[in-house]
A and B are shown apart, each in its own frame.
Chain A
Amino acid sequence: MNFISYKKSELYDRIVDEYDIFQNSYDFMVFLAVMGYQEGKVVREGYKGDDSAGTKGQIGVENFFANDLYRVIASSIAFQDTEDPSALVNSELQAEKLAQYAAGGLEIAEQEFGSTAGDPTNVIVEYIQDHDEEDSYQGTLGEIVKAFDDQMMGVEED
């Protein structure tokens, strides 16, 4: 389990290479995964891409999970998808779910930004602005954070 495999498409080339919106393909992949989760779109088959068709993307696990935030996201997605807390520590599972949701997000992205002629940066910005749910997390989250903090007193935070 050294790599996370995910499905790439022409959109990746455009967004990552041509227009330099994301630095790396896997950065875009995470974005797509989050999109897919938010819209509830997930692809369970063929989500790894096809090497011969040139639609396979890979990122080394160590590299990937070195990014804290990405780790958090991967864990959360995996957990939400399985409802299993052990998903929080199961990196293989996380890789799988990440790719699945990324594949789902890719389909949405094709619709939303795929047909834009030229640089889709502005469309992407608009998409993010439109889908930003008003933050009510301050309320509930604040409580949870507080509660956990209380609970976790003494436990090392990563």
Chain B
Amino acid sequence: MELHRLELQNFRQFKDDTIEFAREKAEGITVIHGSNGSGKTTLLNAFTWLFYDEVDFETRPDRLVTEGTIAEATVGKQLTVSVRLRFEHEETEYIAERRAIFEKRSEDDFDGDLIDMGLTLEYKQGTSWRERGNPENSLDQILPERLSDLFFFDGEDIEELAGIDNQERIQESIQNIMGLTILERSTRHLEDAAGRFEDEVEEHASDELAKLIERKREIEDTIEELDRKKDDTERSIERTETEIRDIEQKLERLDESAALQERRQEYREDREKLEARVEKINEEIKAEIDEKGFVPLAIPLINETAERLDEMRQDGVIPSDLSNSYIDSLLEAERCICGRPLEPGTEYYEQVAAMKGEAVAEGVEQGAVRIIGHLNQMSDMESAFFDNIDEYIQERKRLHDDITELTEKIDDVGSELQEMDQKTAGGVSVPELEAKRESKENEKEELIGEKGRIEEKIDRNEEEIESLKEEIEEQRDEREEALVAKRRQKAAELVAEELGTAFGELKDKVRRLSNEKIQDTFGSIASKNLTAEITEDFELKIWQDVGGERVEVDKSTGERQIASLAFVGSLVDIARERYEADGDSEYFTGGIYPLVMDSPFGALDKSHRREVSRVIPELANQIVVFATDSQWEGPVEDEMSPKVGKQYWLDFDEGNDSNTYPRTRIKTEPVGGD
């Protein structure tokens, strides 16, 4: 299918606009620039409305008519909404148009009342145009609805393909793209028909035959039930395995926790030792103060005293030899050395008198000598004091630093432990967890055993059915109706089997084909040695090579987007190849499809944008991309510009409610303000 021209009339904010699509393969990209809210999503909806009468609007989904148009209309007037698409498909030109007629019911009616809706599909034969009888059907055959969200996709939605639980969607996409749905349905329906024929056989059969058939049915029911039980058991096994894993994780954490606690305890002990040494140092410092603290402060005192005494000695105030007789004479002279009069009976007189005797024997001279004599000692003490204090303080500082380091380590371990506590259920001990795990393991063993038994039963039952089938077939005394019915049943079953087998094989073939292409695409753009794959279970997974091992990655939005695009691209590719190839079956025609993408770059960072921009042009022959300015400029523009055949800009005018209404015009030039 190749898009040619899209014409919109009164469709939401598009009053009267046209888009011609780029068609050259080399420049097959049409870019539509528009800021958010300017109408990109509306354009996408125009396609789905045209094809399937489906829209997905966030605001006012029922309001199809352009506001301005209905506002200007008089009450009772009928307004036409139309989307018209000119396209080519399998070498025939088509014009598809959907029209909806709305009537304005009242002055403030902006929705309008839907009077009529119709779809027409015309195709060109020779020089004239003919109309297709069943346009919905025909359009759906050209672009089936179930494929539509692959080809008209919302960039934000498509990354879901690579999300979890989307196997069905992937399987469906594969089925759909290759017409495999036909096979899938045929198989199923043939089996249903076979069932009906079996009923007939039973109806017309002899008692014996009827009994056999009944028995067969019973066994089939039994098998169905056993299958269900087996599924349940499998789920239980899975659940138990998950529980076991949880417990093992908890145990691991407890182990880690214990190791951490031990380490912390060591640190604490080390710290205590250091703190004890600090204590010791503090005691030493105090001892120094006690023994020598006063010395530095006293030295000036002693100095000054020594100096003064020296002066006095030089002045002759201190006689070199102060003896008892001198004192006597002093007393008699009633004067003391310092020149003060001595009054008998005064305390002072008594004091000087008392200098006689032992105290005087020492003599002032000797007092002075004592003072001077201690100076050296004191100076030594002072040095020792300061040296020791310095040493102690330095060592104390080192110890404090070490203590701080240990404290930090202790705190770090503490935080780690706290974090672990939060993840582990508090308060469960190791023995308890071990016991729990053991019981879960036993449970699992039992379940596995049960599953085995169920499987055996299923096998036995299936064997029985096989032999019953043989018996049924060999029943001779049957009426003709029964025989015919039997043959019909068998025919249906045989064809079903054949189609079923083909279906399975083809599905897997397409899966593998798709895989190859995905890996090509993904491999060429995604970084970090990633690969994408559709597994046998049809899950889209992304793997990373980690040291030789393959590990599934939690996909970032960027990777998911790319994987999904790669997947869609692979399908488009396969479809195109099938179409172009010489096939003998008209059921697997494939097709050529355009891709219409709304903002595939939105959630991506710059480098991913560049990569996606490289991929997109390869995905299909014709591509329509919607992008905002900020998404376009930079890497996207760089990569895609050479392949852009047409560009449009959506010029959105909000209107001012009084006489102008919201409206978007599609322009071929950039909108002002660039």
| Direct contact between A and B judged by beta carbons closer than 8 A | yes
The answer to whether A89 and B289 have CB atoms under 8 Å apart is: no
The answer to whether B364 and A137 have CB atoms under 8 Å apart is: no
Residue B386 CB within 8 A of the other chain: yes
Q: Which residues of A contact B307 (CB under 8 A)?
A: 140, 144
Q: A21-B286, A73-B298, A125-B389 are in contact. Are A86 and B337 (CB under 8 A)?
A: yes
| B residues 280-307 in Cβ contact with A at 8 Å | 282-283, 285-286, 289-290, 293-307
The answer to whether B299 and A76 have CB atoms under 8 Å apart is: no
The answer to whether A151 and B320 have CB atoms under 8 Å apart is: yes
Closest-CB distance, A71 to chain B (whole angstroms): 7
Q: Which residues of A contact B336 (CB under 8 A)?
A: 84, 86
Give 1 or 0 for each of A76-108: 1 = CB within 8 Å of chain B CB: 110110011110111111000000000000000
Q: Which residues of B contact A156 (CB under 8 A)?
A: 366
The answer to whether B312 and A85 have CB atoms under 8 Å apart is: yes
Q: Which residues of A contact B362 (CB under 8 A)?
A: 89, 158
Closest to B311 in A: A144
Give 1 or 0 for each of B298-325: 1 = CB within 8 Å of chain A CB: 1111111111111011000110100000
Stretch at the interface among B17-25, B222-230, B373-381, B549-557: B373-381
| A residues 138-158 in Cβ contact with B at 8 Å | 140-141, 144-145, 147-149, 151-152, 155-158
Stretch at the interface among B134-142, B144-152, B239-247, B352-360: B352-360
Q: Which residues of A contact B285 (CB under 8 A)?
A: 121, 125
The answer to whether B296 and A76 have CB atoms under 8 Å apart is: no
Q: Which residues of A contact B294 (CB under 8 A)?
A: 30-31, 34, 73
Closest-CB distance, A83 to chain B (whole angstroms): 7
Does more than half of chain A's interface fall in helix, strand or loop, or is it mixed? helix
Closest to A158 in B: B370
Closest-CB distance, B512 to chain A (whole angstroms): 79
The answer to whether B338 and A89 have CB atoms under 8 Å apart is: no
Q: A22-B289, A22-B290 are in contact. Are A79 and B309 (CB under 8 A)?
A: yes
The answer to whether A72 and B370 have CB atoms under 8 Å apart is: yes
The answer to whether A86 and B364 have CB atoms under 8 Å apart is: yes
The answer to whether B368 and A148 have CB atoms under 8 Å apart is: yes
The answer to whether A86 and B355 have CB atoms under 8 Å apart is: yes
Complex Cα gap A148–B306 (Å): 10
Q: Which residues of B contact A132 (CB under 8 A)?
A: 296-297, 382, 386
Residue of A31, A125, A131, A151 with most chain B CB atoms under a 10 A cut-off? A125
Q: Which residues of B contact A125 (CB under 8 A)?
A: 285, 289, 389, 393
Residue B585 CB within 8 A of the other chain: no
Closest to B376 in A: A145
Q: A89-B367, A158-B366 are in contact. Are A141 and B296 (CB under 8 A)?
A: no
Complex Cα gap A35–B294 (Å): 8
Q: A20-B286, A37-B301 are in contact. Are A148 and B338 (CB under 8 A)?
A: no
Give 1 or 0 for each of A119-133: 1 = CB within 8 Å of chain B CB: 101001100110111
Residue A23 CB within 8 A of the other chain: yes
Interface residues on B, range: 35 or more
Closest to B354 in A: A90
The answer to whether B303 and A141 have CB atoms under 8 Å apart is: yes
Closest to A143 in B: B310
Residue of A19, A68, A128, A152 with most chain B CB atoms under a 10 A cut-off? A128
Closest-CB distance, A87 to chain B (whole angstroms): 9
The answer to whether B374 and A84 have CB atoms under 8 Å apart is: no
The answer to whether A35 and B297 have CB atoms under 8 Å apart is: yes
The answer to whether B374 and A68 have CB atoms under 8 Å apart is: yes
Q: Which residues of A contact B303 (CB under 8 A)?
A: 137, 140-141
Complex Cα gap A133–B307 (Å): 16
Closest-CB distance, A52 to chain B (whole angstroms): 27
Residue in contact with B369 in the complex, picked from A68, A92, A148, CB distance below 8 Å: A148
| A residues 15-43 in Cβ contact with B at 8 Å | 19-23, 27, 30-31, 34-35, 37-38
Q: Which residues of A contact B305 (CB under 8 A)?
A: 75-76, 79-80
Closest to B320 in A: A151
Q: A84-B337, A84-B338, A147-B310 are in contact. Are A155 and B366 (CB under 8 A)?
A: yes
- In the A-B complex, the 7 residue pairs with the smallest Cβ-Cβ separation, listed nearest first, are A88-B367, A76-B305, A34-B297, A31-B294, A132-B296, A34-B298, A21-B286
25 A–B contacts, CB within 8 A, in A order: A19-B286, A20-B283, A21-B290, A22-B293, A31-B294, A38-B300, A68-B374, A72-B374, A76-B305, A79-B308, A84-B337, A85-B364, A86-B364, A89-B355, A89-B359, A119-B282, A121-B289, A124-B289, A125-B285, A131-B297, A137-B375, A144-B372, A152-B365, A155-B369, A157-B373
Interface residues of B (CB under 8 A from A): 282-283, 285-286, 289-290, 293-310, 312-313, 317-318, 320, 336-338, 351-352, 355, 359-360, 362-379, 382, 385-386, 389, 393
Contacts A89-B362, A148-B369, A157-B370 given; 14 further ones with Cβ under 8 A?
Answer: A21-B290, A34-B294, A71-B370, A75-B370, A76-B302, A83-B338, A85-B318, A86-B351, A121-B286, A121-B289, A133-B299, A145-B375, A152-B365, A158-B362
